[in-house]
Structure 1
Amino acid sequence: MEQCIQFSVEHGVARITLNRPDKLNSFTVPMHQQLAQSLTELEQQGARVLLLTGNGRAFCAGQDLSERKVAPDAPPVDLGLSVEKYYGPLVRRLRALPMPVVVGVNGVAAGAGASLALAGDIVVAKQSASFVLPFCRLGLLPDTGGTYILPRLIGPARARGLAMLGNKLSADQAAQWGLIWESVPDELYAAHLEELVQGLAVAPTKGLAYTKLAMEQSWHHTLAQQLDLERDLMRELGASEDYREGVNAFMEKRPPFFKGR
């Protein structure tokens, strides 16, 4: 079977690299299966941050359409099944991971690849990278969480424009709009990304996971409900080893040593 995913965990940093560079890292069923297995393994191996990126000149060009050829006289393809079985569970797992998910957009992120990138917690792109949602050219809508994530990041007007026109958005523009965290000059990208994930690997992981959880829940809560959630999560975090270490390190004027619990 083609090795569609490169995966490793070292010193708390899990690295998943989409590895079909000759096909712009477009998704196939084996690639989905290997990615799902990697997500299971990283949770078992003590990872404290995930870095998701791609090999070659693209981050991900979305679905490999060679798997979805539709002849004029052939029955229709059930695209909903693909979303239900692969793309939906993938986004759910990334959003629910109890650690920061950093996405390094090393090149074009198109279609489901763009939606996948934006499902991360912190998205860093090469200045030469770009984002495009070409679903409209196929008579489709932005799946892989695109219709949920886009308007929440950049507002409904810009989200509709990107989705309905299919225009390419540069990394710089994406950062200016708040679609991603930052756009980094190509020559600085690799070192900057590495510094970022190494810092998160020694951060208070449980606190970051609960920050992620609380922000996700806020879309569905009233202010009163969110305040109650913050109370409950803060109560639990206040009893953690990392909180104790953080306070002691501050009082003793030394760097903290967080264990992620």
Structure 2
Amino acid sequence: MSSEYVETVDGVLQITIATPGNGTSLDFTGVNAGSAALRDLDPGIGAILLRGTGGNFCAGGDVRGFAAAEDRGAHIRGLATHLHEFVRLLDAAPVPVVAAVHGWAAGAGMSLVLAADIALGGPKTKLRPAYPGIGLSPDGGMSWTLPRVVGVGRAQEILLTDAVLSADEAVRIGILSRLVPDEEVYNEAIRLARTLAAGPRSAYATIKSLLLNSRTASLSDQLDSETEAIAASANSPAGREGVDAFVEKRRPNFS
């Protein structure tokens, strides 16, 4: 699969969510192409990479487009519906989601950073909710993901003050996973995604499923789920290969 917005290389589904031609605002051609690919995920895909191809990861929604709409509410409702389908599909994906966050991640761009499993940034990366600055409330799941990452009190402050977060602060509070040199953000992110794609895919799928279920499970129920999952993993090809490789003091081959 290859297009301007969606490309599969070495087991990684790469989705472009913002482009220079769109002023690095959220590009719904890319979002919808990404949703189509995720809806019918190729079994050969072992990781997903979100990227922007301009000067920013994603500068947020197309505010000029909002202003030009005859019915702004209906226009934004339609955009949010498409974005939320994409976020739901990312959340349900059985493979790791990596974000290459260079430059700004504002508004929906910040929401998509929060939707990733692992987000890499550079020293110049900045994040901002951006919604209050134009008199709007969040979308893209930010009101749900942000308090779960940083805590309710910190999320309230970030959202209500429309805080600009530096790269260091974003790492400290857990929004970005780590920093690499600015010019290496994409290269390191695709390297990581390829490494994950070559890893124990069944284990990753189980980890993501356990984390998904933990949102509503009690500790006791989660322990039961972990018991069943690790027992099943032990008899899976990946589990058998991983344990055998450890005992034989060699690198596992999960392919």
Q: TM-score, normalised by structure 1?
A: 0.88
- From 53, 56, 59, the equivalent of 2:57 is 59
Conserved? CA contact 1:111–1:132, under 8 Å: yes
Structure 2: gaps of 5 or more residues: none
Structure 1: distance between partners of 2:54 and 2:68:
29
Q: Give the letter aligned to residue 175 of structure 1.
A: V
Separation in 2 of the partners of 1:18 and 1:49?
A: 16
Residue deviations 1:181-222, cap 9 Å, x none?
112222443443243222212110111121112112212111
State the match for 2:118 in structure 1: 122
Structure 1 SS opposite 2:199 = coil
Distance 1:224 1:144 in 2: 31
Label 1:7 to 1:82 Cα distance change in 2 as closer, same or farther (>3 A): closer
Q: CA deviation at 1:249?
A: 0.8
Using the TM superposition, name which of 127-136 and 228-237 deviates more. 228-237
Distance 1:168 1:87 in 2: 23
Give the letter for the 1:50 counterpart.
I
Matching residue of 1:49? 47
Query: What are the residue-to-residue correspondences of 1:33-112 with 2, within 5 Å?
Result: 33-40=32-39, 43-44=41-42, 46-69=44-67, 75=71, 77-78=73-74, 79-83=76-80, 85-112=81-108
Shift in Å, 1:145: 0.5
**Does the CA contact (< 8 Å) of 2:84 and 2:141 recur in 1?**
yes
Structure 1: runs of 5 or more not aligned: none
TM-score by length of 2: 0.90
Aligned equivalents of 2:185 and 2:68: distance in 1? 40
> Does the 8 A contact of 1:110 with 1:131 survive in 2?
yes
Percent of residue pairs identical: 33
Q: Describe the SS at the equivalent of 1:116.
A: helix
Answer yes or no: is the 8 Å Cα contact 1:27–1:64 preserved in 2: yes
Q: d(CA) in 1 for partners of 2:3 and 2:113?
A: 17
AA at the equivalent of 2:22? K
Matches of 1:169 and 1:91, distance apart in 2: 22
Residues 28 and 67 of structure 1 are in contact (CA less than 8 Å); yes or no, is this contact kept in structure 2? no
Q: Distance in 1 between matches of 2:9 and 2:72?
A: 45
